[in-house]
Structure 1
Amino acid sequence: METPTPSNDAPSPTSRTATGKMLIDIAGHSDLNYDLAPQPDGKILLAGQSYNPVSSNDDFSVARLNADGTLDTSLDSDGKAIVDIGGSNQGRSLTVLPDGKILLSGSSNGDFSVIRLNTDGSLDTSFGSDGKATFDLGRGDYVYSMAMQPDGKILVTGRSDNGSDDNFGVIRLNADGTLDTSFGSDGKAIFELGYSDDQGHSVTVLPDGKILMAGSSYDYSENSTYFDLSVIQLNADGTLDTSFGTGGEATADIDGNDDLGNSLLVQPDGKILVAGRSYNPGYDTEFSVARLNANGSLDASFGSDGKASFALGKGYAQVNSLALQPDGKILLAGQSYNPDNATYDFSVIRLNVDGSLDTGFSGDGKAIFDIAWGNDEGHSLTVQPDGKILVSGYSYNPSGNGYDSSRYDFSVIRLNADGTLDKTFGALPEDLLLTLEGNHDNNDVLIGSDAYERLLGKSGNDVLDGGAGRDSLNGGTGADLFRVSARDDSYRTDSENLSDRILDFDPGEDRIDLSALGFTGLGDGHDGTLAVQENSAGTLTYLKSFEADAEGRRFEIALQGNFAGLLDNSHLIFEPLVLEGTEAGDNLQGSPVAEILVGQGGEDYLDGAGGGDLLDGGAGRDTLSGGTGVDVLRFSARNDSYRTDSEGFSDRILDFDPGQDRIDLSALGFTGLGDGHGGTLAVRVNDAGTRTYLKSFEVDAEGRRFEIVLDGNLANRLDSGNVLFAPEALEGSGSGDTLIGSSLAESLAGRDGDDYLHGGAGADILDGGLGRDTLAGGSGADLFRFSSLEDSYRTDSEGFSDLILDFEAGEDRIDLSALGFSGLGDGHGGTLAVQVNSAGTHTYLKSFEANAEGQRFEIALQGDYVDQLSADAFLFAAAGNSTGQLQIIGATQIEQVS
């Protein structure tokens, strides 16, 4: 890419809250962008190719954006232009000429081709033949790069097939598009460098008129059969400059394996940077870059002996473009593999002058961006005069026409100098919605990504979960379930709104699943509840919390329409539904909702179906299937699943997914995986490889040995990440945290600050720590622990008491054993009294004895527990001084501070 130097007079983008990203659909089908060029006026040109369904071929295509990333409609009336050279075309390299005209080079039917456009996107018929020029070098010729000489001549480079292998190929054109016959042989030059395929991917012109080309060449030496980075230097007439490297060529072997050079630039000091990818057996491929001295030798002051490579996780990674900042720092852009969703993402790294990562960029020198739902490939990079960074390429867009499975769009992002997205650029959040569509008449499960998306369920009983990002959900006909899996999937802050919107909620049959979020029900939006509010026009209804997390996010979801007075717990799911069997053999069938399935006794069959379920077969020989979703298989006693010398009563798990499901053994006392002795469990696989066993070889008094059977061979896939031997620990930061547990047994510690702790399902331990905390155990037998008097107290003027929202007498307990209280009583002599407020809405457990700071211990329980509390609900240090009798002291005169 060659561009005139942008002036600093380019208009600043208007301040707006955008996404930092832009997707451009050129022609309704697949569009691939390979180059970008900023204009002096701040506008941005993008070029590549677009599929033409009429000819079933690709055509050259161009788009132009305003400085803020919106389409510039002065180009061909809609900001987009398509040029059919004839046959199949691939647009690769873009240059803006000093007069504003646009050069685009690429390939057409296996020949080099160049077109020139006027500023409005129309063909400049004074160039070539009616604005187009094509050139045959060999049997198959493909362009990758173009450069302008100061005299207006045009260099175009790529690869040319001689019938047996590829070679570096380059042509030089006069300004009118004709071949410059003073260059090479009749304007063309071909260079065979290695034993086999050589490819020229980048070209630039030196101040003395010499020409540098970079790419890769095959090294068939005694010690190597790989491709190396390759750079050649030509004289102005197209002959090899033998003063450079060895005979005009310099190579760099980065990691002893295959290396590819994709981008080339020359520093102001004359040193040469070449970037691309290198193969590392441990990481697949990595970003790689080499720096050469002007004579072609490696610059030992850069990286390690002139070379540097960088892994961006395990998997494929490649640099496609290279840029230099005014301060000498080096930017590399391309794509890298994202194992979380098995796709590629835009990837940018910044290096210091010496080739080390610049940790001032995105924290560790690396920045990765998921542009759309699917593969994103970054192909071009430039630095604006204001220091902001443009990266363009193409992104898979599932919002396509439904039958084009390879639908890609041009994509571009702009970064601030620190590597964060520039939110003044690109599409507005609502304009960047990608569409995920269900099938008619099917019961679909649509799960979004981190992008802004539109989910369309159509007909059928569908499940829609937008994931992170500001999503639009339309269930269509049928009884649909709208699921929110995390509080930060849909929220509002003081400055921005990222809440999801449900477009067609039908209170007669649809439901909203909030069971993973830790809210306890509808209320005033405080103390773990959600408020229902309508906008002034009555067109939107909000479910919202007024309590912010440590990042200032308050949960909110919007429903299109006025549902005032229509929403209740029959429409909203705040905790997993419980399906409980009997002592006989039961068949418990789940649904798309998150559920708790408890088999009790007997030989039960438990099927979670969809959702993140908790399955506990209980006693008996049970069969467990979690179905889709992140499921927990819990075992509450060792004799729930066991084997003896003569019989097997082992539970069988049909569909355990080691990547997302978990087996909870935290209640059983095993310490980990091992040989099945000393409190460990062994992993064994049957001879056929069809079943895996988790088993102990140590018997109890009845001769029972714990054992679980899992379908499939999971021998190398079970570990401490999916087999849990102790409660998981969730710990706050000390500054007002929101900790939400799952269906596992967990230990939640809020530390300092006013925290909100919700255990979820499972037998949890909740310790709010210092600060005025709100605690909800959720389902399961939970323990509320207080570790010091200062954790929850009242003074004469203020209340800092913790509030327990859902204490379940007879199941939950409160642990006060660290505080020195001896039991229940009148609140004196080391005992705690019980008081109920006059409204009967809060019960207080309190001491009337103050410490030196005037603090009196106090806990509040939401609800009236006068007839439910007993000494069995508490763990005290000692019971010797306790009366053991619950004393109701009367109604409190000072309400809990709200």
Structure 2
Amino acid sequence: MRTFQLFSALLFPVAAAVAQAGTLDPTFGTGGKAVANVPGTYCSGQALAQQADGKILVCGQTPGLTLLVRFNADGTLDTGFGTNGLVTTDVDASNDYIGSIAVQPDNKIVVAGNKFDALANGTLIVMRYSADGDLDNSFSSDGIAELVFPNSDSYATGLALQPDGKIVVCGERYAGSAWESFVTRFNPDGNWDGGFGTVQLDMGPNSSDNLKDIALQPDGRIVVCGVSLDAFDQRIAVARYNTDGTLDAGFGTGGKLLLAPGGFGDDRANSVRIKPDGKIIVAGISDNDSGYDVVAIQLNVDGSFDGTFGTTGVAVIPFGGSDWTQPSLALQPDGKIVIGVDNTDATTPRVKVIRLNADGSLDNSFGTAGIGTSNATPGNDDESAVRTLFLADGGIAVAGYAEASSPPIQLAVWKFLSGVNVGVADIRDHDQPFVPTPNPVDRFFTLTTDVNLPAGSAITIRDIHGRVVLLPYVRNIGSIVVDASSLPPGAYAVSIQHVRGERTVRFIKE
């Protein structure tokens, strides 16, 4: 039997990585920034996801078309995907857009957004691609599912994948006088799930509501966040649904919360994540009467403010941003909180990453006083951040777009060093291909090998200290689903021991 040393990476330059936390990773792209563009026009990134092999997917738009881009782990374009790393899709005759993305355990790619026809009528769309970038014709017959709301424009603003393969989507529609928000669900084959339906969210009488993000709890309940505008104020909106689409009466007031941390009538949420202890963290912006601060709000499971976080549950980061700022969350395995953002009112807007300790205080070991900054060139390279992701190798990726002289706007991904050492080298044994998907892991992940595992095979999951933390049951099959919901966030090594040797790869539990 071949034996590999699992954790020797812990003995190497961790101190150097920590010292660089909050700076761009010089090994990624060009100086920490990777770009893609459609010749002759502009394009922008709106969301990102990572495959189990480390490649990074970014979805967005270019005029009239949806856009899907795949980068290698080093920031180079993956020329084996689509055309030189880019896939464009013309859904309708006018303008199309995708702003949410997720990767299935079988490596198929799910995106959601909207299309506009020639009369500028908007329709919600969910699309699925194969791993090589082709539309998946087993999904809604042509790879594209649509949900039409009569007499209104509709948009998908977030999506999440259930362990059973169903796709939960949050969105908004404009019915002529006000915005209305909703949650709906599609089956794995792309058909609309009529048993769940389309659940409208009304935050208050005569309010205009916009949902911006969605997250699933381990028990299947659905948390959404966004903004609610009434005749007087604009406030942060948070709601939780049961698995059947009904509002969860055990959360907030009748399943809903309206929050106004700034006190000046202009607050909004853009991102939500579920922590391993069940607490809910929301990121957004808040008016301070002279500009906008970034805010992070931590809620207990019942929707009450968590008094151990920030000041009575709210962390305020003075930022000087504008109302276009779109903070986005990622959770590190060590409990720290990462918020990607841009200072859009600055002379040279730059991408920034804020890192908070678990208690909501700024992490002074990261960047400058808790904030890392990209290296934009003044007057020539304005930048905007849209979504943030903690990568399996410990990096922090931010997707968005960068303005330059030519082409005018490029899709961009920035990678920052976190100082977090995931602790396990990815050991490649080509005699026994072995892939965990998805990675990072929310709850379930699938281990796929090219042969059935013989009797006597074993699977072991260890933490970064080498301690065995989980021993999944093994059957004689080539694809094994592992329930990792009991594991706290962090970096882990999963090993398969069998008669031909031992194969070990790493994964991140979110």
TM-score by length of 2: 0.67
**Alpha-carbon displacement from aligned partner over 1:706-735 (angstroms, at most 9, x marks no partner):** xxxxxxxxxxxxxxxxxxxxxxxxxxxxxx
Q: 1:397–1:409: 8 Å Cα contact kept in structure 2? A: no
Matched, 1:153 2:108: yes
Q: 2:366–2:372: 8 Å Cα contact kept in structure 1? A: no
Q: 1:377–1:393: 8 Å Cα contact kept in structure 2? A: yes
CA distance in 2, matches of 1:167, 1:10: 50
Q: 2:367–2:373: 8 Å Cα contact kept in structure 1? A: no
- How far 1:409 moved relative to its partner? 1.0
Matched, 1:367 2:306: no
Pick one of 53, 57, 64 that aligns with 1:99. Answer: 53
The code of the aligned residue for 1:152 comes to N
Q: 2:226–2:236: 8 Å Cα contact kept in structure 1? A: yes
Q: 1:124–1:130: 8 Å Cα contact kept in structure 2? A: yes
Pick one of 158, 183, 187 that aligns with 1:235. Answer: 187
CA distance in 2, matches of 1:71, 1:432: 8
Matched, 1:332 2:282: yes
CA distance in 2, matches of 1:104, 1:76: 14
- How far 1:227 moved relative to its partner? 2.3
- How far 1:217 moved relative to its partner? 2.5
Q: 2:363–2:370: 8 Å Cα contact kept in structure 1? A: no
Matched, 1:204 2:204: no
The code of the aligned residue for 2:201 comes to A
The code of the aligned residue for 2:210 comes to L
CA distance in 1, matches of 2:116, 2:328: 26
Bigger drift between 94-103 and 367-376 goes to 367-376
The code of the aligned residue for 2:296 comes to V
Match of 1:370, SS state, is: strand
**Alpha-carbon displacement from aligned partner over 1:425-475 (angstroms, at most 9, x marks no partner):** 0136999799xx9xxxxxxxxxxxxxxxxxxxxxxxxxxxxxxxxxxxxxx
Pick one of 115, 126, 131 that aligns with 1:175. Answer: 131
Match of 2:153, SS state, is: coil
Q: 1:12–1:67: 8 Å Cα contact kept in structure 2? A: no
- How far 1:193 moved relative to its partner? 2.7
Whichever of the two has the greater Rg, that structure is 1
Match of 2:80, SS state, is: coil
**Alpha-carbon displacement from aligned partner over 1:599-618 (angstroms, at most 9, x marks no partner):** xxxxxxxxxxxxxxxxxxxx
Bigger drift between 174-183 and 94-103 goes to 94-103
- How far 1:365 moved relative to its partner? 1.3
- How far 1:14 moved relative to its partner? 7.0
Provide the residue aligned with 2:390 in structure 1.
none
CA distance in 2, matches of 1:186, 1:431: 43
Provide the residue aligned with 1:121 in structure 2.
75
Mapping 1:262-273, distance limit 5 Å: 262-273=212-223
CA distance in 1, matches of 2:255, 2:59: 32
Mapping 1:799-814, distance limit 5 Å: none
CA distance in 2, matches of 1:285, 1:196: 23
Mapping 1:8-407, distance limit 5 Å: 68-86=21-39, 87-138=41-92, 139-162=94-117, 163-193=119-149, 195-218=151-174, 225-244=177-196, 248-256=197-205, 257-282=207-232, 284-312=233-261, 313-339=263-289, 341=290, 343-371=291-319, 377-396=325-344, 398=346, 400=347, 407=348
CA distance in 1, matches of 2:114, 2:46: 13
**Alpha-carbon displacement from aligned partner over 1:154-176 (angstroms, at most 9, x marks no partner):** 01111111324212112110000
Q: 1:111–1:140: 8 Å Cα contact kept in structure 2? A: yes
- How far 1:99 moved relative to its partner? 1.0
Structure 1 residues 74 and 233, CA gap change in structure 2 (3 angstroms): same
- How far 1:371 moved relative to its partner? 3.0
CA distance in 2, matches of 1:412, 1:316: 23
The code of the aligned residue for 1:126 comes to G
Provide the residue aligned with 1:505 in structure 2.
none
The code of the aligned residue for 1:315 comes to G
Pick one of 352, 356, 359 that aligns with 1:411. Answer: 352
The code of the aligned residue for 1:148 comes to V
**Alpha-carbon displacement from aligned partner over 1:527-561 (angstroms, at most 9, x marks no partner):** xxxxxxxxxxxxxxxxxxxxxxxxxxxxxxxxxxx
The code of the aligned residue for 1:170 comes to V
Match of 1:198, SS state, is: strand
Structure 1 residues 424 and 227, CA gap change in structure 2 (3 angstroms): same
- How far 1:218 moved relative to its partner? 3.8
CA distance in 1, matches of 2:187, 2:20: 39
Q: 1:344–1:376: 8 Å Cα contact kept in structure 2? A: no
Provide the residue aligned with 1:595 in structure 2.
none
Provide the residue aligned with 1:720 in structure 2.
none
Mapping 1:310-709, distance limit 5 Å: 310-312=259-261, 313-339=263-289, 341=290, 343-371=291-319, 377-396=325-344, 398=346, 400=347, 407-427=348-368
- How far 1:379 moved relative to its partner? 2.8
- How far 1:76 moved relative to its partner? 2.3
- How far 1:67 moved relative to its partner? 6.9
Match of 2:54, SS state, is: coil
**Alpha-carbon displacement from aligned partner over 1:578-602 (angstroms, at most 9, x marks no partner):** xxxxxxxxxxxxxxxxxxxxxxxxx
Q: 2:81–2:133: 8 Å Cα contact kept in structure 1? A: yes
The code of the aligned residue for 2:339 comes to V
Q: 2:22–2:371: 8 Å Cα contact kept in structure 1? A: no
- How far 1:293 moved relative to its partner? 0.8
- How far 1:179 moved relative to its partner? 0.5
**Alpha-carbon displacement from aligned partner over 1:479-505 (angstroms, at most 9, x marks no partner):** xxxxxxxxxxxxxxxxxxxxxxxxxxx
- How far 1:178 moved relative to its partner? 0.6
The code of the aligned residue for 2:216 comes to V
CA distance in 2, matches of 1:201, 1:372: 26
Structure 1 residues 387 and 155, CA gap change in structure 2 (3 angstroms): same
TM-score by length of 1: 0.39
Q: 1:346–1:376: 8 Å Cα contact kept in structure 2? A: no
Q: 1:277–1:317: 8 Å Cα contact kept in structure 2? A: yes
Match of 2:358, SS state, is: coil
CA distance in 1, matches of 2:133, 2:116: 23
Q: 1:168–1:200: 8 Å Cα contact kept in structure 2? A: yes
CA distance in 1, matches of 2:104, 2:25: 29
CA distance in 1, matches of 2:260, 2:12: 36
- How far 1:131 moved relative to its partner? 0.8
CA distance in 2, matches of 1:306, 1:295: 14
- How far 1:410 moved relative to its partner? 0.7
Say how many residue pairs are matched.
Answer: 365
State the identity %.
Answer: 38
Structure 1 residues 265 and 428, CA gap change in structure 2 (3 angstroms): closer
Structure 1 residues 184 and 429, CA gap change in structure 2 (3 angstroms): closer
- How far 1:300 moved relative to its partner? 0.8
Q: 2:363–2:369: 8 Å Cα contact kept in structure 1? A: no
Q: Which runs of no fewer than 5 residues in structure 1 stay unpaired?
A: 1-6, 17-41, 44-65, 401-406, 438-898
- How far 1:195 moved relative to its partner? 3.1
Q: 2:350–2:373: 8 Å Cα contact kept in structure 1? A: no
CA distance in 2, matches of 1:201, 1:181: 23
CA distance in 2, matches of 1:429, 1:148: 31
- How far 1:377 moved relative to its partner? 2.1
Mapping 1:836-851, distance limit 5 Å: none
CA distance in 2, matches of 1:14, 1:93: 30
**Alpha-carbon displacement from aligned partner over 1:724-778 (angstroms, at most 9, x marks no partner):** xxxxxxxxxxxxxxxxxxxxxxxxxxxxxxxxxxxxxxxxxxxxxxxxxxxxxxx
Q: Which runs of no fewer than 5 residues in structure 2 stay unpaired?
A: 1-6, 379-510
Aligned residues: CA RMSD: 3.0
CA distance in 1, matches of 2:270, 2:22: 22
The code of the aligned residue for 2:224 comes to V
Query: Which structure's relative contact order is higher, taking Cα pairs within 8 Å and 6+ residues apart?
Result: 2
